[in-house]
Structure 1
Amino acid sequence: MAEDTRQDKRTGFSPLTEHNTNGIARTSALAPSKTGASKKLVIKNFKDRPRLAENYTEDTWLKLRDAVGAIQNSTSIKYNLEELYQAVENLCSYKVSPTLYKQLRQVCEDHVQAQIHQFREESLDNLSFLKRMNRCWQDHCRQTIMIRSIFLFLDRTYVLQNSLLPSIWDTGLELFRIHIVSDGAVQKRTVDGILEQIELERNGETIDRSLLRSLLGMLSDLQVYKDSFEERFLVETNRLYAAEGQRLMQERDVPEYLHHVARRLEEENDRIVNYLDLSTQRTLINCVEKQLLGEHMTAVLQKGLSTLLDENRVTELTLLYHLFSKVKGGLSTLLQFWRDYIKSFGGEIVCTPEKDKDMVQDLLDFKDKMDNVAHSCFTRNEGFINAMKEAFETFINKRPNKPAELIAKYVDSKLRAGNKEATEEELERILDKIMIIFRFIHGKDVFEAFYKKDLAKRLLVGKSASVDAEKSMLSKLKHECGAAFTSKLEGMFKDMELSKDIMIQFKQYMQNQSEPSNIELTVNILTMGYWPSYTPMEVHLPPEMVKLQEVFKLFYLGKHSGRKLQWQPTLGHAVLKAEFKEGKKELQVSLFQTLVLLMFNEGEDFSVEEIRTATGIEEGELKRTLQSLACGKARVLNKNPRGKDVEDGDRFNFNNDFKHKLFRIKINQIQMKETVEEQVSTTERVFQDRQYQIDAAVVRIMKMRKTLSHNLLVSELYNQLKFPVKPGDLKKRIESLIDRDYMERDKETPNQYHYVA
């Protein structure tokens, strides 16, 4: 075959002929001809690869070295870059790669070593030094990239096939690290300068962030970032924020301090985004959080949590929770202080008798406030919500019985007629909130006793604001405490409904009487076990009333034989028709007021003693009754002498000059404030009921177990009883049952009890 002696037009360096470099003959099968015979093309007689021209390697390297030098000195390159690239490819093709790699490394190393002198200048300030270092680094990176572009074939063939050899780029980094950055004085001054710039920025000054980003990127690329910079940086950061935390805790109040910490954390995160290595983020932020928060958690909470909660500083409380959630043990510490605050604040509400009047409203407001903090500021954290419930349950039971009593009275005030404070929807929400407070109370039987007493008044005197509201409250109590708790209360409503049916029948009965009465009588029949016990009071009723009572008694007992009726005049009320100079009026009054007013049909002037003798009303009740008729807003009686209080020597006469814009006037009986005796009486009834329940529980347990130790019996009782009880009270009840022969002590082991069948 003929030789192709064409000159390579690309390089101008290599007068080489193009041949198959392997010198191996190849055969190729051709498609069959029309005749069906196949032909083969045989290629043979390849020439051996020609040798390089003499001095070609040395001449080519000199040109390549000149080009590298021009790049390093930032001067123009004499040769075309494509020519230089082809020259490298040619040298590599003739196994000159190891020598070429070593020569290139040596040239680069000599150049880098020569750069160190510019960093020895002592007169440079730190910022100028950093700028010079950055300029040197940028030049080095640019030069290395250009050099690699020329020696790319070497990098992609020889270096890539030798795993132990660093690439040209890595070689450039290695040389810069060894001869520049690893120099002790240079490295120290570089890091000192960077730390100085960061400290200036932390103190509020403006710095060149792009300079720091470049230099820290250099340290990271050279793999000396952690050892040379990060360790010192974190030490300085610890020192700075430790001192700052100590100082600011003394100088600033907690809200200011929290905002400062948040700002510092934001600044440090911003530094990570802008120039620090991302690997520093966790340790840096942990450092700031530890020094500004972790070291001062207790101090922050002692100094400021109460103030933040008292003033309802929602923004700062949210920030406090957010910051403390970042610190180890932060939330658990905050949780404990939150619990202690609730116990302390709530305990003051409950245990201060002077605040009893507003106790329940204060508790509701306090609960609303803490709920808002838990939901809005503490992200509905279940631990904080549970801690709040525990704290409420603890402080509300520090004062036995009183909160339960006052909650019952608060409910009474909301359900009583004349309460214009809330719509039906608002009233429902109030009752729901009350039930939340009610759940925390241990002595629910105390609540039941006072609630039942107030409910009876509302039902019997017709003062209930809404039957729907009453039944809604009853439903809530039943859902919370069970059917047994509300059975008597439900019985009261049932009595009222049955009484309405009985009165319809009684009116029909009266219409069939030969002598119909001119008095319309309404009677409520109360089942004794359902209603509070009332002390019977004998008063002198007019003959007409007595006669009508007997008629009703005859009617009722005729339908229900074997029953006994006991009249309760203290709860009675009436509507009287009265004539004044102004005209006729109707007076809606209590039965006691009725008895007093009816006396003035028989005379014009009476003394207190005369009225007491005629009516039989107890002295204290009579004075309150006279006070309501003569000293209130509707003065249908005149008192002589005038005054707010009724004395024994006072006399009363009918006020014929009485005037009022309404036709029917309701004269409220002056309610005697619940006396200490009445409160004690209600509480004693509860205590008596508890004794019965304890006795029943002891007998029930002993009947089942037959024999039991004292400690196990007490433990069982605590599990069964639904009210708080002291060990001493249990011991007294056990002794009482032993005395009554329900159980006996073991003769050999006095601490052991046996059930007596």
Structure 2
Amino acid sequence: MSLTPKSVDFNEIWPNLRSTAEAVITLGNVNRSDWSTRFSDVYTLCVAHPEPYADRLYNETKQFLENHVQNMLATKVALDPCSTSTVNGEPDLLQRYYDAWTEYSQGVKYLDNLYSYLNQQHIKKQKISDAEVVYGNLSSDTMEQMEIGELGLDIWHIYMIKNLSDDLVKHILEDIKADRCGSPEITPNRVKIISGVVHSFVQVRGYKRTGQLKLYQELVEFPLVMASADYYDNEAAKLLKTCTVSQYMEEVIKILEEETKRAKKFLHATSMWRLRKKCEDRFVNRRLDFIYSECKDMVSQEKRKDLRNMYKILKPIADNLKSQLIHTFLDHIKNEGLETISTLSGENIHIQFVENMLKVHQKFHELIADVFENDSLFLSALDKACASIINRRPGDRQPCRSAEYVAKYCDTLLKKSKTTEAEIDQKLTNNITIFKYIEDKDVYQKFYSRLLAKRLIHEQSQSMDAEEAMINRLKQACGYEFTNKLHRMFTDISLSVDLNNKFNNHLKQENIDLGINLSIKVLQAGAWPLGPTQVVIPFAVPQEFEKSIRMFEAFYHKSFNGRKLTWLHHMCHGELKLGYLKKTYIVTMQTYQMAMLLLFESCDSLTCKDIQSTLQLNSETFQKHLQSLLESKLLNASSENLEGNTKIELNFDYSNKRTKFKITSAMQKETQQEQIEHTISAVDEDRKLYLQAAIVRIMKSRKVLKHNALIQEILSQSRVSFTPSISMIKKCIESLIDKQYIERTPNSGDEYSYVA
């Protein structure tokens, strides 16, 4: 075949081409040689000389397709009253349309291939670009020819669908209704036909650049959704008359699943959510009062199956419509949590509090996972409920003790016990869950740091690794600033171990024997929460200790020039060996108690006046520590009143089953309430300083700031540690104005300026 353009007779070539086109469009047999020849004919007509016949070929093919579709409509598809193929007593229009469409749509694809040269070299080159459509304000269908495949689909739409759409849609809706009613006539083959007809409305506009689904939506989707809404209303009304809430929800879930499957069977994918949304609106949104009527009982009795069903049907609707279920669930957690902790009592109240709260949290966390699919709204409700329970104040003037309990719970775990490290680690990890809900984290920090100090000083920790791991957990939860002092305390203990080793090596090198075993902890004054006990109590150090103390001071000042050592004897303890009794005893006691007993090394009895004056102790400290020795029976007193001439003597008849024991440290005579009040008072002072520093920092950065904006900045910065009251913030602002750090801006009552 020559590809050179030549003069040809259109009327001579077209009849053969038309004949082959007719065989192709009807899926008839076309032999290979005829097919190849027709390809050549299309090419020849498109490049004919002197005038190409491309436009005439296009018009003749268009006319051929129009005639073919009109003929199919008249002879194969239109209603035929004599037809014996029926559905519901009427001629089966859907079957005939489906058969015709299946044949035609496939034939048009083959015909589009036959005309590929016309499509590529003539039609496509004349197409309007997307840019011209958008920026040239032109329609994508204006002033252009369509490719033959597109043309065939457009002609089907004009001559077939426009004429039959009303009847087709009527039968589609009837068949879908019959399927809902469980009609046996809706067989798998029938489903295939309905789906094919429905999708033909999409496929016939598939070549469009925009709005491919518009025809389908207008003809099928909109009428079906409206008809379905009426059906759903009627079904919902029937169910309300016969079902309980539990049964109703089960039926609704079943219907929703069936409608989803039905949409997948018959409709385009985009219709599924619209149909389901309409179903949810009629069965759920408009029946919320009925669904919620038993919500409180279901939640309070924790009926998991019913709650799971309720969540399933409420999940897709707007969050505000689910709020009643969420609030009911939140109130239930609050009630159970408050009931759990309201009856706590005894010495181990802190253990009960934390472990009971963990049980509540774990129970409802598992319930949310099982019933509510870990929905963030329900997890948020759990957080709010737990925060409300944990931060609840017993009364207006009573402080919340949760921070104290959680800190003491950690102290119990970290002290020496028979608990394994793995158990301690797991419990401390769980404890952080409760800690995160505490609002007054600075109160927790105060209690925790004091308890940590006692454990470290008195060497009561189960494991230093566990201590460090807990501090790291707190650091991860609240940041470096929160645990800065805790880290420094921990570091001091490590450095003290090294310092003691160096001191002992120094003594060996100098060949010095102190006569006692000495272990000293050097603590940074700013890091350790030693409270009011940091005030040095007057004390004349016994001769037995004097040499050791002076030697260590000399060694320390030589190593660290310029540092000052303050001895905290009231925090020291030691072991004293008693050899004057029938059995030898080793007793652990405080320094003051040890000093008193050492006075009896050279005599068997002394007066209170002699003991106090020798040790130079104040009356309160003297009475307190002497009393503990009398209560332990190591000493006897001639009178209950420990006054100047009261005689104190050794008890040579002392006996104890244990040869190694400890005399309980004489603690400050403060009630538990006084200790809590003292801690809260210290926290309040810290808060005022923190807020004042924050205000100065903010104002230094901003220079000028409105009152409300300053309040918000302060709340934002302090939220990590505590939530200050507005009144406290205002007092701090006034204090800084008095100190001339900031001032009120002239001519403005609610604006502050930084004073440089």
Q: 1:441 aligns with which of 438, 442, 445?
A: 438
CA deviation vs aligned residue, 1:525-550 (integer Å, no higher than 9, x gap):
11111111333323454221233222
Within a 5 Å distance, the mapping from 1:552-571 to structure 2 comes to: 552-571=552-571
Q: 1:366 aligns with which of 360, 369, 388?
A: 360
Q: 1:664 aligns with which of 655, 660, 668?
A: 660
Within a 5 Å distance, the mapping from 1:130-209 to structure 2 comes to: 161=76, 163-166=78-81, 168-170=83-85, 173-174=88-89
Q: Which residue of 2 aligns with 1:576?
A: 576
CA deviation vs aligned residue, 1:700-719 (integer Å, no higher than 9, x gap):
23233333332332233223
Q: Which residue of 1 aligns with 2:102?
A: none
What is the one-letter code of the residue matched to 2:661?
I
- Decide whether the 8 Å contact of 1:709 with 1:751 is kept in 2: yes
How much does 1:484 deviate?
A: 2.3
Question: Does 2:374 match 1:380?
Answer: yes
Distance 2:495 2:448 in 1: 22
How much does 1:334 deviate?
A: 1.9
CA deviation vs aligned residue, 1:574-604 (integer Å, no higher than 9, x gap):
1111237663232223324423443554555
Question: Does 2:290 match 1:296?
Answer: yes
Question: Does 2:740 match 1:741?
Answer: yes
* CA distance 1:702–1:231, shift in 2 (3 Å): closer
Over aligned residue pairs, what C-alpha RMSD do you find?
Answer: 4.9
Gaps of 5+ in 1: 1-156, 178-210, 249-256
Within a 5 Å distance, the mapping from 1:543-558 to structure 2 comes to: 543-558=543-558
Q: 1:341 aligns with which of 332, 350, 357?
A: 332
- Decide whether the 8 Å contact of 2:311 with 2:371 is kept in 1: yes
How much does 1:467 deviate?
A: 0.5
Question: Does 2:565 match 1:535?
Answer: no
Distance 1:484 1:705 in 2: 23
Q: 1:702 aligns with which of 699, 704, 709?
A: 699
- SS of 2:460 mapped into structure 1: coil
CA deviation vs aligned residue, 1:186-211 (integer Å, no higher than 9, x gap):
xxxxxxxxxxxxxxxxxxxxxxxxx9
* CA distance 1:457–1:264, shift in 2 (3 Å): same
Within a 5 Å distance, the mapping from 1:443-592 to structure 2 comes to: 443-511=440-508, 516-533=513-530, 534-579=534-579, 583-592=583-592
- Decide whether the 8 Å contact of 1:350 with 1:396 is kept in 2: no
Q: Which residue of 2 aligns with 1:389?
A: 383
- Decide whether the 8 Å contact of 1:289 with 1:327 is kept in 2: no
How much does 1:468 deviate?
A: 0.4
Distance 2:353 2:87 in 1: 80
Distance 2:623 2:82 in 1: 112
- Decide whether the 8 Å contact of 1:347 with 1:398 is kept in 2: no
> Once structures 1 and 2 are overlaid, which stretch shifts more, 672-681 or 445-454?
672-681
How much does 1:567 deviate?
A: 1.0
Answer with 1 or 2: which has the greater Rg: 1
What is the one-letter code of the residue matched to 1:372?
E
How much does 1:432 deviate?
A: 1.8
Q: Which residue of 1 aligns with 2:716?
A: 719
How much does 1:389 deviate?
A: 2.5
The percentage of counterpart residues that share the same residue type is 26
- Decide whether the 8 Å contact of 1:624 with 1:669 is kept in 2: no
Question: Does 2:685 match 1:691?
Answer: no
How much does 1:375 deviate?
A: 1.7
Question: Does 2:407 match 1:408?
Answer: yes
Q: Which residue of 2 aligns with 1:141?
A: none
* CA distance 1:174–1:306, shift in 2 (3 Å): closer
- Decide whether the 8 Å contact of 1:431 with 1:473 is kept in 2: yes
Distance 2:559 2:73 in 1: 121
- Decide whether the 8 Å contact of 2:740 with 2:755 is kept in 1: yes
How much does 1:563 deviate?
A: 1.8
Distance 2:231 2:706 in 1: 69
Distance 1:756 1:270 in 2: 69
Q: Which residue of 2 aligns with 1:752?
A: 751
- Decide whether the 8 Å contact of 2:250 with 2:309 is kept in 1: no
Q: Which residue of 1 aligns with 2:161?
A: none
> Once structures 1 and 2 are overlaid, which stretch shifts more, 604-613 or 504-513?
604-613
Distance 1:270 1:496 in 2: 66
- Decide whether the 8 Å contact of 1:604 with 1:653 is kept in 2: yes
How much does 1:213 deviate?
A: 6.2
- Decide whether the 8 Å contact of 1:416 with 1:463 is kept in 2: yes
Q: Which residue of 1 aligns with 2:240?
A: 242
- Decide whether the 8 Å contact of 1:589 with 1:669 is kept in 2: yes
Distance 1:161 1:548 in 2: 118
Q: Which residue of 2 aligns with 1:181?
A: none
- Decide whether the 8 Å contact of 1:452 with 1:532 is kept in 2: yes
- SS of 1:586 mapped into structure 2: strand
Q: Which residue of 2 aligns with 1:135?
A: none
How much does 1:724 deviate?
A: 1.4
* CA distance 1:286–1:557, shift in 2 (3 Å): closer
What is the one-letter code of the residue matched to 2:583?
G
How much does 1:465 deviate?
A: 0.8
* TM value normalised by structure 1: 0.59
- SS of 1:536 mapped into structure 2: coil
- Decide whether the 8 Å contact of 2:253 with 2:313 is kept in 1: no
Q: Which residue of 2 aligns with 1:307?
A: 301
- Decide whether the 8 Å contact of 2:634 with 2:654 is kept in 1: no
How much does 1:460 deviate?
A: 0.6
* CA distance 1:656–1:748, shift in 2 (3 Å): same
* CA distance 1:176–1:235, shift in 2 (3 Å): farther
CA deviation vs aligned residue, 1:192-244 (integer Å, no higher than 9, x gap):
xxxxxxxxxxxxxxxxxxx9966999xx99x9xx9xx9999978865654345
Distance 1:315 1:353 in 2: 33
Q: Aligned pair count?
A: 538
Q: Which residue of 2 aligns with 1:119?
A: none
Distance 1:647 1:349 in 2: 48
How much does 1:657 deviate?
A: 4.8
Question: Does 2:727 match 1:728?
Answer: yes
How much does 1:524 deviate?
A: 0.7
Distance 2:684 2:581 in 1: 55
How much does 1:735 deviate?
A: 1.6
- SS of 2:89 mapped into structure 1: helix
How much does 1:455 deviate?
A: 0.9
Q: Which residue of 2 aligns with 1:417?
A: 416
- SS of 1:708 mapped into structure 2: strand
How much does 1:472 deviate?
A: 0.6
- SS of 1:336 mapped into structure 2: helix
Distance 1:748 1:232 in 2: 67
CA deviation vs aligned residue, 1:495-516 (integer Å, no higher than 9, x gap):
1122122212222333456763
* CA distance 1:515–1:158, shift in 2 (3 Å): closer
CA deviation vs aligned residue, 1:648-695 (integer Å, no higher than 9, x gap):
99988536452435x533444365676333333332222222222222
- Decide whether the 8 Å contact of 2:392 with 2:400 is kept in 1: no
How much does 1:466 deviate?
A: 0.5
- SS of 2:713 mapped into structure 1: helix
What is the one-letter code of the residue matched to 1:296?
F
Within a 5 Å distance, the mapping from 1:590-601 to structure 2 comes to: 590-601=590-601
Gaps of 5+ in 2: 1-71, 93-180, 195-223, 267-274, 394-398
- Decide whether the 8 Å contact of 1:324 with 1:334 is kept in 2: no
